[in-house]
Amino acid sequence: MEQVEGENATDGRGPSIFDTADSLPGHGDTSQVADDFYHLYAVDIAAMQLLGVKHFRFSISWSRVIPDGDGAVNQKGLDFYARLLDTLHAAGVEPLVCLYHWDLPQALQSNFGGWASDQIVPAFVKYAKVVFQALGDKSEYWTTFNEPITFCFLHYGAGTYPLFIKDLRQAWNCSYNVLRAHAAVVKEFRALVPGGRICMCLNSEWAVPLTNSTADVDAAQRKMEAELGIFADPIYKGDYPASMKQRISSLPKITPQLAHDLNGSMDYFALNFYTSTYVAADEGATCTWGRCDFTLSQTDKAGDLIGAEADSGWLKSTPWAFRPNLNWVNNRYHPKEIVVSEIGWDVKGEGTMPLMQALNDTSRIDFFRNYIPEATDAVNIDKVPLTGLFVWSLLDNYEVGAGYQNRFGVAHVDYRTQQRTFKASAMYLAGIFNSSMANASLTYPSVA
């Protein structure tokens, strides 16, 4: 998708909502080239082999497969993903494929309002069926959506890039249509990909009560229910959390038929986890971003930050929160399997560092060194059924809303030459992966 592939108008790919927003005057960075993964995927897969990577998560671009979102299929787009999947398998790397990572075909937004409209559901089902029929036998693990709370409540509710729409009712409609589309697509998946596993990839920030007061403790629970529960509760429990239904009059209704269709639609639970936030009760707070009657803060009452700062303003290091977040998911939903589909860290100031300084990314190593044991304890001590963990990301890439300044990769990318260079964190992870290269001086495979 737009964060790594580039070649946004090559081989029949149609424009996405990001291409449209990126073309606005004064926008700045665009994803037109990104990491040129469209041409360099084989180089990057060879790098995965060096590191000992056994699993790779990526997303398919809807507008590369169906350029206008709901019309003719672009065979060249499908062929690209077939080559990618075949190359992964040849390298011994198992893929996890996501159908939708926010890059909606622009035509669907222009024609009927995208995810805020009921018309999006059959269009998404058509796209998914095309992908499953062409590529379903090339991957066991799939996800329908990545972080729907983010694209529904940022793109449609908060007025941010790339849609700049500020309409909370559209955000609620988006979340409801995501549930409807997920249920319908899983039904097609079960028919077309027997033996495959599918879910929706959700995200949360661990909620820490600002004080020990009952009001703040309850508010922290409501925050978790509003962020994870808006999607996971209808799937696992048949309806939205009671705390949301009591506070949000415009919340769409989960019908008995939808509850039936959603039941059992998560073969595993995919969770993105990065950080935490303080939560304080505030009965006068406006309902936004799927949250109601509380406020969020990165500082405690003394003004101290909740954790060490990353480059992204929203990201603070809170490894102590990883284990309770996993337990919250496990205790509330009792999934058969949990996969952490993202953890990651962008080093403060890395985007302006000289190359040799950027390669010595000790704070990213510290992040992994502190977070990963928390997941291990959740498995060994708490018996959380965690089976895998994905790092965001292999490469520095086009970060949505931040461009190329924020770098999350364990491999540095020179965007002018597309030269990749392993950072120290790549060597650290290679040791965890038991790669024979872990103690070597790693050189990224040539991009020439």
Task: From 271, 267, 390, 270, select the one nearest 336 (Cα to Cα).
Answer: 267
pLDDT interval class at 426 (50, 70, 90): very high
Q: Predicted confidence band at 307 (pLDDT cuts at 50, 70, 90)?
A: very high
pLDDT of residue 360: 97
Q: What is the pTM of this model?
A: 0.96
Between CA 87 and CA 59 the distance in angstroms is 16
**8 Å CB contact between 133 and 192:** yes
309 is catalytic: no
- pLDDT over 70 (residue 357): yes
Pick the CATH number of 17-432 from 3.90.25.10, 3.10.180.10, 3.20.20.80, 3.40.50.740: 3.20.20.80
Known catalytic residue: 350? no
- Which pLDDT score, from 0 to 100, does residue 441 have? 63
pLDDT score, position 1: 67
Per-residue pLDDT for 233 more than 70? yes
Q: Where are the domains of the chain?
A: 17-432
Return the SS3 of 155: helix
What H or E segment, with its residue span, contains residue 207?
strand 197-209
pLDDT of residue 247: 87
Residue 18: band (very low, low, confident or very high) from pLDDT cuts 50, 70, 90: very high
Can you tell me the mean pLDDT for 430-445? 78
Contact 16, 5 (CB under 8 A): no
Q: Which residues pair with 97 in a beta bridge?
A: 58, 142
Contact status, residue 99 vs residue 1, Cβ threshold 8 Å: no
Mean pLDDT of 78-95: 98
Kindly name the residue from 5, 205, 227, 342 that is annotated as catalytic: 342
Q: What gap in Å lies between CA 331 and CA 194, rounded to an integer?
A: 29
Give me 40's structure tokens.
């360099």
Q: Can you give the pLDDT at residue 31?
A: 85
Residue of 5, 147, 225, 399 marked active site: 147
pLDDT, tens only, 87-108: 999 999 999 999 999 999 999 9
Question: Residues 323, 326, 330, 331: is their CA dihedral positive or negative?
Answer: positive
Please report, rounded to a whole number, the percentage of residues in the chain having pLDDT higher than 70: 97
pLDDT above 90 covers a percentage of the chain that reads 88
What is the per-residue pLDDT across 374-404, written as a single tens digit (0 to 9) for each?
999 999 999 999 999 999 999 999 999 889 9
Q: What is the pLDDT of residue 290?
A: 64
Q: Residue 27's pLDDT is what?
A: 79
Find residue 98's DSSP bridge partners: 59, 143
The reported pLDDT for the residue numbered 436 is 72
Contacts of 50 (CB under 8 A, 6+ apart): 430, 435, 437, 442, 445
Q: pLDDT tens-digit profile of 103-119? A: 999 999 999 999 999 99
* Distance from C-alpha of 60 to C-alpha of 74, rounded to nearest angstrom: 13
Q: Are strands 94-100 and 55-59 parallel, antiparallel or unpaired?
A: parallel
